């Protein structure tokens, strides 16, 4: 044995030993704090709720009738403050009404908080709005949920109003029956097949808002109970992939600003309110939760915040309904086509690495995989890494939107301005396949000739320090508390984020506001090789004595890849397991194919839910919290054997 | 204007002249997308009827996004149906009041056809398939038995035999001979998505179809066989097809990067009449119901135009900035 070989083996051994200990959280976790009691948890949560409402009311300028949303009006009505301003602002803000379901649900919040406060004239004004303004129902899952919950509750306030009272010419009873049927069906589908618009750090509030309305104000006992259960369900979905408020893993929808700043998302705002994570930040979702009186079960707080040990968490979701180009993997639910989304997240005390299987899973804003890591101060931090093939095609557009082939891409890019740009940071691709085992991730690409943007792109943010392009082909870096190793299979070139200048040029207004500051200093590794791939291997800094030792260990890991005839790779990860992946074939771990057919809706140490079960079990130590949507029950229990 | 009513007698059809006087009116369904920036919401949208002057448009129906088409019940033109993203909106009083007649299960309708003999039978095409009402729109059920793809944009009732329907789907043209209860392909193609279907009033054996990806097809034997026409447009996406109401030899096609093409010999020779239009991207074509020789075309966001000389000279018909989704005519009470 040569000295070099012996040294490599030493590094592998010591690296793997440290690695194994780090996986157990032996290095990373702070000393355990005394567990918070349920009562203390509830008291502190209530304090944050009151603080949030106080801050919203304090933002009111009673002398300025030009500012103030329906949320602000509602907070003032709740507190019985600035009532004269609220009444006048109500009229001005709705002259004319606009925003469809984004008008409806804040209006319902205003009406609910305004009971006993608003004058008869105010109510007359509001009733006239509901009679004359015909809101669009929208074209996304969140649109429909907001639309029908709002419509139900508005009608429930006037249960005997006839068809002449409503814009759609239906009576209150007809509206309530139709809306309730949709709401319950949406819950059934979600708890049976997974959410379509799954795990969005931005759009989480478009679900917590309507659920908060049901929790706080539905008079129908079934909707009130199931609204609470569904709120718990959505928050559990966030809690299990939560690291100090960061929403890790693969996501259905994310906007560029938030891709780069995972600590600034709407989800992070929920982390502050519900789990006391990060800094105070408010949004409509958290305000509605605070006003609704919703109290999360304490088990949610514990699941979201206990990061003593690393764990694997799997989820089954589905794509948005497809009416064209559904593809061979499609299956139908009640006559509508969708395909399964297999999510895998490795949640470590210091980071979350998560992925889906790749492919076109969601329109426009999909994030197929991501890495986020713990940072002390999240303000301005781009503590993330991800990759994509920037796909843009009318196939994707007409799959999900009822628009024409020739106009759909143009119309999408009117609001999502980076959709048809090679430098975009989000989106799925039919030419991308991703596979992950714990801290190792493999992505393969087989891009046909003639593809609009024939390249792949991986973000190396400005917060990945000490970047080294090693002679071995690995690229090393350090992101916060972890080491990162990235092995591209084909060469690429470094480009600044937004390398075509699309967003820096001011495209899209609000969409790109502040993007220059967020992206400055970050780069993308852009490769134009049509057959391509890469390995990502991460490890906590605490698992190694030095950066050099980490690099030596990574260099010594066996790796064998080829790009012809199709991209394939065999790689031994830091945990010593052999991973293989071939484009178009199921990946293997230690020789065993990954069996996606056994993927359940939730499968991890904190949550279990079987396919089509309409149930969810939350698990923490000996505590259990069981949601049963079929029978409409939520039960807490203690088991003797954890 | 006289219109025709089909009367069913013992299973046979006969044609009689309806005595009531009705007026045909051109309508347009559009979304004002040109000003749509940093938003998915168009600045305006809806269904508009043409006034007595060309290019005068006035709204009919509610102010709502994604309004795709309007249809009148031929036997009772006071009953109007609007196909839209929210579902189907119906008026029973000529447009004075409207009611959403579909529920949460129905959405994204593109075209509606009403049985000319029995107005209770209503057929609505949507991107999710065909929905059928047997009670004048009060209730709806899906009816897709036999369809390879549910996605459909056009549905037409055979006026000589209202039990027969033709449906334009994402996988070709399908026919039903039992009022939409089941479907059989009459021109199957996994490559072509049928965007528009139209039948000639001058020759009821003559049909025309515009497709996504395969150009246009004509049937001269009442839909039994279909043949490609206008070979220069054979791989284009054709969003507009039109057949002249009284002269079966005259027809027009329009499409993306295709402008407008006309034929005056029953589809044998096609002439490019796109010169003079501000854009080659045409989204709708129709002949004016009241000025029979007037041809209308809508361009993507660059306005709607008409020509009284079969496309040699085009006159601005307004709607600059609009994305026209349908341009057709309906009967209304005078």
In A358-421, beta strands by DSSP E? 369-373, 384-385, 387-388
pLDDT of residue A40: 93
| Residues on chain A touching B100 (C-beta within 8 angstroms) | 168-170
- What residues does A73 pair with on adjacent strands? none
Closest Cα partner for A168 from B234, B232, B230, B84? B84
What is the CB neighbour count within 10 angstroms for residue A560?
A: 10
Tally of residues, chain A: 642
The residue with greater pLDDT, A260 or A33, is: A260
Q: Is residue A617 part of a domain?
A: no
If asked whether residues A289 and A311 sit together in one domain, one would say: yes
- Say how many domains are in chain A: 2
Domain coverage including residue A166: 38-193
Å between A407 CA and nearest CA of chain B: 9
User: What are the backbone angles phi and psi of residue A485, rounded to the nearest 5°?
Assistant: -130, 130
B18 pLDDT higher than 70: no
Nearest Cβ partner of A415 from B38, B65, B283?
A: B38
pLDDT of residue A14: 40
Q: Rounded distance, CA A553 to CA A537, Å?
A: 11
pLDDT of residue B332: 87
Q: Tell me the pLDDT band of A509, cut-offs 50, 70 and 90.
A: low
A628 membership: H or E segment, kind and range: strand A623-628
Strand order in the sheet with B99-100: B67-73, B76-84, B87-91, B99-100
Nearest Cβ partner of A136 from B85, B281, B283?
A: B85
| Residues on chain B touching A163 (C-beta within 8 angstroms) | 99
**A565-597, pLDDT tens digit by residue?**
999 999 999 999 999 999 999 999 999 999 999
What are the tokens at A631?
A: 């029978």
Q: Is residue A638 part of a domain?
A: no
pLDDT of residue B292: 85
What are the tokens at B302?
A: 């660059």
CA A79 to chain CA centroid, nearest Å = 32
- Per-residue DSSP letters for A66-96? T---HHHHHHHHHHT-SHHHHHHHHHHHTSS
pLDDT of residue A514: 79
CB–CB of A404/A483 below 8 Å?
no
The SS3 of residue B186 is strand
What are the tokens at A335?
A: 């006559």
pLDDT of residue A411: 94
CB–CB of A16/A575 below 8 Å?
yes
What is the CB neighbour count within 10 angstroms for residue A247?
A: 30
**B135-148, pLDDT tens digit by residue?**
999 999 999 999 99
Cα–Cα–Cα angle for A480, A300, A344, rounded to 5 degrees: 55
CB burial class (10 A; 0-12, 13-18, 19+) of residue B293?
Answer: middle
Nearest Cβ partner of B39 from A136, A185, A415?
A: A415
Q: Rounded distance, CA A185 to CA B234, Å?
A: 44
pLDDT of residue A388: 98
pLDDT of residue A622: 95
- What residues does A619 pair with on adjacent strands? A624
Nearest Cβ partner of A170 from B40, B100, B256?
A: B100
Q: Rounded distance, CA B156 to CA B169, Å?
A: 12
Q: Is residue A210 part of a domain?
A: no
B9 touches chain A (CB under 8 A): no
Q: Tell me the pLDDT band of A605, cut-offs 50, 70 and 90.
A: very high
Lowest mean pLDDT among A146-150, A475-479, B328-332: B328-332
Q: Region A465-471: what's the mean pLDDT?
A: 98
Lowest mean pLDDT among A299-303, A615-619, B40-44, B163-167: B40-44
Q: Is residue A169 part of a domain?
A: yes
Mutate to test the interface with A, among B38, B47, B66, B171 (most CBs of A within 10 A): B38
Q: What is the dihedral of CA B4, B287, B220, B161, to 10 degrees?
A: -30
If asked whether residues A272 and A127 sit together in one domain, one would say: no
What are the tokens at B101?
A: 């007649």
B58 touches chain A (CB under 8 A): no
CB–CB of A218/A238 below 8 Å?
no
Q: Is residue B143 part of a domain?
A: no
CATH number of the domain enclosing B240: 2.130.10.10
**A291-325, pLDDT tens digit by residue?**
999 999 999 999 999 999 999 999 999 999 999 99
Question: For chain B, percent helix, then strand, then coil, each to nearest 5?
Answer: 0, 50, 50
Q: Rounded distance, CA A278 to CA B32, Å?
A: 43
How many contacts, defined by CB atoms under 8 Å, are there between A and B?
Answer: 92
Q: Tell me the pLDDT band of A34, cut-offs 50, 70 and 90.
A: low
Q: Rounded distance, CA B60 to CA B105, Å?
A: 25
Å between A162 CA and nearest CA of chain B: 12
Q: Is residue A109 part of a domain?
A: yes
Contact A137 B62 (CB under 8 A): no
Å between A206 CA and nearest CA of chain B: 17
Q: Is residue A202 part of a domain?
A: no
If asked whether residues A140 and A104 sit together in one domain, one would say: yes
Å between B100 CA and nearest CA of chain A: 5
What are the tokens at A466?
A: 């000490």
Å between A202 CA and nearest CA of chain B: 17
The residue with greater pLDDT, A642 or B251, is: B251
What is the CB neighbour count within 10 angstroms for residue A166?
A: 24
Question: For chain A, percent helix, then strand, then coil, each to nearest 5?
Answer: 35, 20, 40
If asked whether residues A9 and A54 sit together in one domain, one would say: no
CB burial class (10 A; 0-12, 13-18, 19+) of residue A624?
Answer: middle
Å between A126 CA and nearest CA of chain B: 18
Q: Under an 8 Å CB criterion, which residues of A touch B?
A: 100, 134-137, 139, 144, 148, 163, 167-170, 178-179, 181-182, 185, 323-324, 335-336, 402, 404-407, 411, 414-415, 417, 508-511
Which CA distances in Å does A536 have to A404, A473, B96, B147?
39, 12, 64, 46
pLDDT of residue A510: 64
pLDDT of residue A23: 40
| Residues on chain A touching B36 (C-beta within 8 angstroms) | 411, 414-415
Q: Rounded distance, CA A143 to CA A105, Å?
A: 10
- Per-residue DSSP letters for B231-262? GGGTTSBEEEEEE-SS-TT-EEEEETTTEEEE
Contact B100 A168 (CB under 8 A): yes
Domain coverage including residue B56: 24-61+191-327
If asked whether residues A460 and A337 sit together in one domain, one would say: yes
Last residue within a domain, chosen from A585, A603, A621: A603
Q: Tell me the pLDDT band of B14, cut-offs 50, 70 and 90.
A: very low
If asked whether residues A87 and A12 sit together in one domain, one would say: no
In chain B, % of residues over pLDDT 90:
86
Q: Is residue B173 part of a domain?
A: no
**B156-195, pLDDT tens digit by residue?**
999 999 999 999 999 999 999 999 999 999 998 877 899 9
Å between B142 CA and nearest CA of chain A: 9
The residue with greater pLDDT, A238 or A15, is: A238
If asked whether residues A160 and A62 sit together in one domain, one would say: yes
Q: Tell me the pLDDT band of A21, cut-offs 50, 70 and 90.
A: very low
Å between B9 CA and nearest CA of chain A: 37
Å between B294 CA and nearest CA of chain A: 26
A41 pLDDT higher than 70: yes
Contact B40 A336 (CB under 8 A): no
Closest Cα partner for A194 from A139, A233, A148, A137? A233
- Prior bond of A96 cis (ω within 30°): yes
User: What is the ipTM metric for this complex?
Assistant: 0.93
Name the B residues in 116-145 with CB < 8 Å from any A CB.
127-129, 142, 144
Q: Is residue A247 part of a domain?
A: yes
Q: Rounded distance, CA B168 to CA B164, Å?
A: 14
| Residues on chain A touching B323 (C-beta within 8 angstroms) | 407
B280 touches chain A (CB under 8 A): no
Contact A169 B300 (CB under 8 A): no
| Residues on chain B touching A170 (C-beta within 8 angstroms) | 99-100
Nearest Cα residue in chain A from B130: A335
If asked whether residues A454 and A309 sit together in one domain, one would say: yes
Q: What mean pLDDT, rounded, does chain B reach?
A: 92
**A123-162, pLDDT tens digit by residue?**
999 999 999 999 999 999 999 999 999 999 999 999 999 9
In chain A, % of residues over pLDDT 70:
93
A13 pLDDT higher than 60: no
If asked whether residues A161 and A259 sit together in one domain, one would say: no
Q: Region B311-334: what's the mean pLDDT?
A: 94
Q: Tell me the pLDDT band of B17, cut-offs 50, 70 and 90.
A: very low
Q: Rounded distance, CA B18 to CA B49, Å?
A: 24
What are the tokens at A37?
A: 């009691």
Contact A169 B37 (CB under 8 A): no
Nearest Cα residue in chain B from A143: B86
- Say how many domains are in chain B: 1
Q: Tell me the pLDDT band of B41, cut-offs 50, 70 and 90.
A: confident
If asked whether residues A57 and A14 sit together in one domain, one would say: no
B57 touches chain A (CB under 8 A): no
Nearest Cα residue in chain B from A177: B103
Q: Region A72-98: what's the mean pLDDT?
A: 97
Q: Region A530-550: what's the mean pLDDT?
A: 98
What is the CB neighbour count within 10 angstroms for residue B145?
A: 13
Q: Tell me the pLDDT band of A641, cut-offs 50, 70 and 90.
A: low
Q: Tell me the pLDDT band of B38, cut-offs 50, 70 and 90.
A: confident
Q: Is residue A581 part of a domain?
A: yes
If asked whether residues A516 and A584 sit together in one domain, one would say: yes
CB–CB of B171/B188 below 8 Å?
yes
Closest Cα partner for A324 from B111, B148, B182, B107? B148
Nearest Cβ partner of B38 from A181, A324, A509?
A: A509
């Amino acid at each position: 044995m040569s000295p070099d070989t012996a040294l490599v083996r030493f590094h592998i051994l010591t690296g793997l030993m440290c690695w194994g200990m780090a996986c157990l959280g032996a290095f990373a976790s702070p000393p355990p704090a005394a567990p918070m009691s349920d009562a203390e948890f509830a008291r502190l949560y209530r304090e944050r709720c009151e603080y949030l409402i106080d801050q919203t009311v304090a933002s009111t300028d009673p002398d300025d009738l030009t500012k103030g949303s329906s949320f602000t009006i509602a907070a003032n009505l709740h507190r019985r403050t600035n009532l004269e301003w609220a009444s006048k602002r109500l009229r001005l803000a709705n002259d004319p009404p606009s925003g469809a379901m984004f008008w409806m649900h804040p209006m319902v919040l205003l009406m609910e908080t305004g009971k006993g406060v608003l004058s008869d004239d105010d109510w007359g004004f509001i009733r006239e709005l509901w009679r004359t303004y015909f809101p669009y129902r929208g074209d996304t899952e969140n649109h429909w949920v907001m639309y029908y919950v709002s419509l139900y509750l508005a009608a429930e306030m006037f249960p005997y109003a006839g068809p002449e009272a409503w814009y759609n010419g239906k009576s209150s009873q007809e509206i309530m029956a139709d809306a309730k049927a949709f709401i319950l069906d949406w819950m059934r589908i979600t708890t049976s097949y997974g959410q379509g618009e799954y795990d969005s750090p931005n759009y989480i509030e478009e679900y917590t808002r309507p659920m908060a309305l049901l929790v706080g104000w539905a008079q129908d006992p079934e909707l009130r109970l199931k609204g609470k259960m569904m709120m718990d369900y959505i928050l559990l979905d966030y809690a299990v992939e939560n690291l100090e408020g960061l929403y890790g893993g693969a996501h259905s929808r994310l906007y560029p600003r938030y891709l780069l700043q995972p600590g600034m998302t709407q989800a992070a705002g929920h982390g502050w309110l519900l789990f006391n994570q990060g800094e105070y930040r408010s949004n409509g979702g958290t305000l509605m939760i605070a006003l609704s009186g919703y109290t999360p079960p304490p088990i949610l707080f514990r699941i979201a915040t206990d990061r003593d040990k690393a764990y694997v968490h799997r989820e089954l979701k589905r794509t948005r309904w497809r009416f064209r180009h559904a593809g061979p993997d499609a299956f139908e639910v009640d006559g509508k086509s969708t395909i399964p989304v297999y999510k895998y997240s490795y949640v470590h005390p210091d980071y979350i690495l998560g992925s889906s299987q790749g492919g076109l899973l969601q329109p426009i804003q999909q994030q197929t995989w991501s890495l986020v890591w713990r940072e002390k101060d999240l303000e301005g931090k781009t503590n993330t890494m991800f990759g994509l093939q920037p796909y843009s095609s009318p196939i994707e557009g007409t799959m999900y939107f009822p628009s024409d082939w020739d106009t759909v891409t143009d119309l999408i890019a009117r609001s999502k301005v980076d959709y048809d740009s090679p430098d975009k940071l989000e989106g799925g691709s039919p030419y991308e396949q991703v596979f992950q085992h714990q801290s190792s991730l493999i992505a393969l690409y087989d891009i046909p000739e003639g593809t609009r943007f024939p390249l792949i792109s991986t973000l190396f943010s400005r917060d990945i320090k000490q970047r080294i392009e090693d002679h071995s082909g690995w690229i090393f870096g350090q992101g916060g508390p972890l080491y990162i190793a990235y092995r591209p299979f084909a060469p690429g070139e470094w480009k600044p984020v937004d390398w075509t200048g699309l967003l820096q040029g001011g495209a899209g207004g609000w969409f790109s506001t502040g993007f220059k500051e967020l992206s400055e200093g970050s780069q993308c590794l852009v490769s134009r090789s049509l057959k391509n791939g890469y390995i990502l291997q991460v490890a906590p800094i605490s698992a190694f004595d030095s950066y050099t030792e980490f690099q030596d260990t990574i260099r010594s890991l066996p790796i064998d890849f080829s790009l012809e005839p199709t991209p394939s790779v065999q790689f031994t990860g830091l945990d010593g397991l052999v991973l293989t992946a071939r484009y178009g074939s199921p990946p293997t771990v230690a020789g065993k194919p990954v069996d996606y057919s056994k993927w359940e809706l939730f499968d991890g140490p904190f949550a279990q839910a079987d396919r089509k079960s309409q149930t969810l079990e939350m698990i923490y130590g000996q505590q259990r919290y069981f949601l049963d949507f079929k029978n409409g029950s939520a039960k807490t229990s203690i088991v003797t054997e954890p | 204007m006289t219109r025709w009513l089909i009367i069913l007698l013992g299973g046979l059809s006969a044609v009689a002249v309806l005595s009531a006087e009705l007026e045909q009116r051109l309508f347009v369904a559009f979304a004002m997308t040109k000003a749509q920036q940093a938003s998915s919401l168009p600045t305006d949208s809806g269904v508009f009827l043409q006034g007595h002057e060309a290019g005068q448009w006035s709204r009919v129906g509610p102010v709502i996004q994604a309004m795709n088409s309007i249809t009148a019940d031929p036997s009772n033109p006071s009953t109007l149906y609007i196909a839209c993203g929210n579902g189907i909106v119906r008026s029973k009083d000529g447009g004075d009041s409207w009611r959403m007649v579909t529920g949460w299960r129905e959405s994204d309708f593109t075209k509606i056809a009403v049985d000319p003999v029995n107005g209770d039978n209503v057929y609505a095409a949507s991107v999710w398939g065909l929905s059928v009402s047997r009670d004048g729109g009060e209730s709806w059920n899906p009816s897709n038995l036999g369809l390879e793809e549910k996605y459909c944009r056009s549905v037409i009732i055979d006026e000589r035999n209202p039990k027969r329907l033709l449906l334009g789907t994402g996988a070709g043209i399908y026919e039903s001979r039992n009022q939409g209860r089941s479907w059989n392909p009459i021109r199957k193609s996994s490559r072509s998505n049928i965007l528009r279907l139209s039948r000639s009033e001058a020759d009821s054996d003559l049909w025309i179809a515009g497709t996504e990806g395969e150009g246009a097809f004509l049937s001269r034997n009442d839909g039994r066989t279909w043949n490609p026409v206008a070979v220069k447009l054979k791989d284009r996406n054709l969003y507009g097809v039109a057949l002249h109401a009284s002269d079966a030899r005259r027809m027009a096609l329009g499409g993306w990067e295709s402008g407008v093409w006309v034929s005056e010999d029953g589809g044998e020779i096609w002439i490019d009449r796109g010169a003079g239009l501000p854009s080659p991207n045409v989204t709708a074509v129709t002949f004016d119901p009241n000025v029979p020789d007037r041809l209308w075309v809508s361009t993507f966001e660059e306005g709607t135009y008409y020509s009284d000389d079969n496309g040699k000279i085009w006159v601005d018909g307004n709607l600059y900035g609009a994305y026209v989704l349908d341009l057709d005519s309906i009967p209304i009470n005078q």
